[in-house]
Amino acid sequence: MTTTERIAAELKDSEHAAMLTSPVSRQYATGFHSSAGVVFITKEKCYFLIDGRYYEHAVQQAQGVEVLLLSDTRKQLYSIIEEHGIRSVSIESKYVTVNELNDYKKLFSTLEVDDSDWLSNTLEKMRMIKSEDEIQKVEAAQRIAEAAFSKLLGQLRVGMTEKQIASVLNFFMMDMGADGLSFDTIAASGINSACPHAVPTEKQLQKGDFLTLDFGAIVDGYHSDMTRTVVIGEATEEMKNVYNAVWSANTDAMKAVRADITGKVVDSVARTTLSAWGYEEYFTHGLGHGVGLEIHEAPTVSAKSHYTLHEGMIITIEPGVYIPGKFGVRIEDMVVVTADGFRLLTNAQKTLIKV
């Protein structure tokens, strides 16, 4: 069953349709990435309206849809609506702006426009469970990121700036075949590593610095995400203690992962471990998140998470300790949830690396 057929199966009846307009949802439904277009799904048939910039490639690559060359959106959609007897259309509430909602209500003035969370929630629920093909794409992106990280380690030198380090790492990922970068790479050293989402600066690497690197690659639209913290030269006893605490929290939390456990429970395991080491107060963010067509997607793994983990989900496990005015440590891995545990997608060394 194609993705569009799965979405169609969720429609209430033959008079109900779904319209996907966000780039992520269009790609999820069709397997084709574009900056514009409309996917219109009915019980009987699914359509992909797209302009001339993408039309030929969409005809060749889009899956589970009839591709139509976009000429007159209103006229073409109404032709489909009349052909299938559509009376209500659900839109993606989580992506639609107020202006867009008003436009849709004008466009579908004779229909009921469902602007509830039904369609967005349905898509979220489907996207959380990855197919084997999706997992392979995330894994391919992760292999690129790891190879780039390994190559970067041989390039790191005292005196390099955080900006230079991020740029070199980005180049290596792209040179090794990434389609893009998952997000703006974080390279934070010394005191800057105490900020979880630090932006690379002109600060130069110094002996005794921790260097935290948070980065990822994209393959066929699917993201990877990893964080490693390395030490430049020798680490102090305090630095080693913090690193071991974070490593233990990462390891213990992963051991708790399995289908039917909640994200909240997994997060609490990491916090309990950090508490035993005396560092829980310095863990200032959630433990993890889903990864796929977006770098941050459902489910969340945090103290406030309401999600239950299910087989096939891809999540990150990324505990951290950030001591203001000193340094920070984060270790992040990706795992696939299985029926009785997890499958690790991150192969990079996790014991403290000395550069």
Can you give the CATH number for the domain in which 281 is found? Answer: 3.90.230.10
Whole-number pLDDT of residue 1: 85
Q: What tens-digit pLDDT sequence spans the chain (355 residues)?
A: 899 999 999 999 999 999 999 999 999 999 999 999 999 999 999 999 999 999 999 999 999 999 999 999 999 999 999 999 999 999 999 999 999 999 889 889 999 999 999 999 999 999 999 999 999 999 999 999 999 999 999 999 999 999 999 999 999 999 999 999 999 999 999 999 999 999 999 999 999 999 999 999 999 999 999 999 999 999 999 999 999 999 999 999 999 999 999 999 999 999 999 999 999 999 999 999 999 999 999 999 999 999 999 999 999 999 999 999 999 999 999 999 999 999 999 999 999 999 9
Same domain, 155 and 297: yes
Omega before residue 196 within 30° of 0, cis: no
Whole-number pLDDT of residue 298: 98
Instruction: Please give the Cα distance from 204 to 194 (Å, whole number).
Output: 16
Number of domains present in the structure of the chain: 2
Map residue 342 onto helix, strand or coil: strand
Instruction: Please give the Cα distance from 127 to 299 (Å, whole number).
Output: 10
CATH code of residue 103: 3.40.350.10
Triad 26, 136, 264: Cα angle to 5°: 80
Same domain, 99 and 152: no
Domain enclosing residue 88, as ranges? 3-128
| Residue 89: HSE in the Cβ half-sphere, 13 Å Cα cutoff | 26
Same domain, 101 and 149: no
Same domain, 73 and 174: no
Instruction: Please give the Cα distance from 266 to 305 (Å, whole number).
Output: 10
Residue ending a domain, among 128, 152, 181, is 128
- Does residue 342 contact residue 257 with C-beta atoms inside 8 Å? yes
Same domain, 189 and 288: yes
Whole-number pLDDT of residue 55: 97
Same domain, 186 and 320: yes
Same domain, 86 and 157: no
Instruction: Please give the Cα distance from 75 to 101 (Å, whole number).
Output: 19
User: What tokens appear for 169 in the block?
Assistant: 């790492």
What values do phi and psi take at 87, rounded to 5? -120, -20
Same domain, 120 and 11: yes
Triad 305, 308, 313: Cα angle to 5°: 105
Instruction: Please give the Cα distance from 19 to 150 (Å, whole number).
Output: 43
Instruction: Please give the Cα distance from 16 to 26 (Å, whole number).
Output: 19
Same domain, 112 and 202: no
Contacts of 172 (CB under 8 A, 6+ apart): 147, 148, 151, 152
Sheet of strand 297-301, all strands in order from the earlier edge strand to the far edge = 297-301, 288-290, 314-317, 333-338, 341-344
Residue ending a domain, among 105, 128, 151, is 128
Kindly tell me the sign of the dihedral angle through the C-alpha atoms of 145, 148, 153, 156: negative
Contacts of 231 (CB under 8 A, 6+ apart): 208, 209, 210, 211, 239, 243, 352, 353, 354, 355
Same domain, 270 and 233: yes
Kindly tell me the sign of the dihedral angle through the C-alpha atoms of 309, 310, 311, 313: negative
In one letter, which amino acid is 4? T
CA distance readout (Å), 133 to 34, 142, 271: 20, 14, 33
Residue ending a domain, among 128, 150, 169, is 128
| Of the candidates 237, 232, 215, 233, the residue with the CA atom closest to the CA atom of residue 224 | 215
Same domain, 191 and 86: no
Instruction: Please give the Cα distance from 92 to 239 (Å, whole number).
Output: 47
Instruction: Please give the Cα distance from 167 to 163 (Å, whole number).
Output: 6
Same domain, 275 and 319: yes
